[in-house]
Structure formats: C-alpha cells, structure tokens
Amino acid sequence: MATDPARRAAVLVLRSAAAGLTATTGAVHLALWADGYRDLATIGSLFLLNGVLGCLLAVALLLTPYRRLAPLAAVTALFTAGTLGALFLSLTTGLFGFQESVDAELVRPTIVVEAVDVLVLTVLAAVALSHRHRIPDPPSSRPGSARKAGHR
C-alpha cells in the first residue's frame, strides 16, 4: 500500500491532470461557441453551457476538500463522458439536427482529451474513495494511546 506522502502526491498529480483536462474541454467548447457554434440552434447554447460548466468543474477539482473529492471526480467523469457521447452522436446520427464531421479541426484532439479525462477522473475518484473509506486503527491499538487517555 502506498505511504501517505506517496498517496498525497499521486492524488495531487491526478487532481491537477483532471483539472487541466477538464478545463481544456471547457475551453474548447467556449472557443468553438465563439467561433460560430453560438449561431446553431440548441447546440450553441449547449456549447456555452458545457464550456462554463467544464471550467467551473476544473476549478472545483482544484479547490474541493479531499473528503469531497471522490464524488466530485465521479460527477465530473460522468459529465465528460456525456460530452464525449454527445460528440459521438453528432458524428454518427446527428444531434439536435447538427451533424459534425470527423475532419473538423478540433474533433480528434477533443476525443483524445475527453477520453483521457474520463480515465483520469475515474482513477482519481477511486483513489480518493478508497482512502476515504480506510478504517483507522482503534485508539487502544496505537502506541502511547493508553497513557494519553489516562490509563497506566
């Protein structure tokens, strides 16, 4: 099992990577919205909403206390997976009357970034959850605990 400093370092790396990837997907949606997607019915509003929520979730991943990190990472993973699913729908059957092309400039990088983000967020949620549910040693089994509690 990893030591606490090693676990903290791993969580910091995972948290930072997840926040960066989530911010990237949010920024891509905001950039595409500004570049003309805002003029598309329904899709335009969804791109704006996705961009704003992605950026807010990225900040939340950095600022959330550790005890709340697992649920936030899980929710963010589901959000990103939903975004990726919507992209695949728009590439195949279309979404809200909009058909995306795999040859569009940011489609392939977005698929990679969002897929990696889902993976990193899932690992982060699992690591944070497993640490959160670790059962501490009972006070009587810790060295020196009997003296601290007034027992001799």
In this structure, the chain runs to a length of 152
The proportion of the chain whose per-residue pLDDT surpasses 70, expressed as a percent, equals 84
Residues 75, 90: Cα–Cα separation, whole Å: 23
Residues 6+ apart with CB under 8 A from 31: 106
The proportion of the chain whose per-residue pLDDT surpasses 90, expressed as a percent, equals 60
Residues 25, 117: Cα–Cα separation, whole Å: 9
When pLDDT is cut at 50, 70 and 90, the band that residue 99 belongs to is confident
Residues 107, 91: Cα–Cα separation, whole Å: 9
Q: Write down the pTM of the prediction.
A: 0.80
Q: Render the burial of 114-131: b for 16+ CB within 10 Å, e for the rest.
A: beebbebbbbbbebbeeb
- What average pLDDT does range 88-104 have in this prediction? 88
**Are 122 and 77 in contact, with CB atoms under 8 Å apart?**
yes
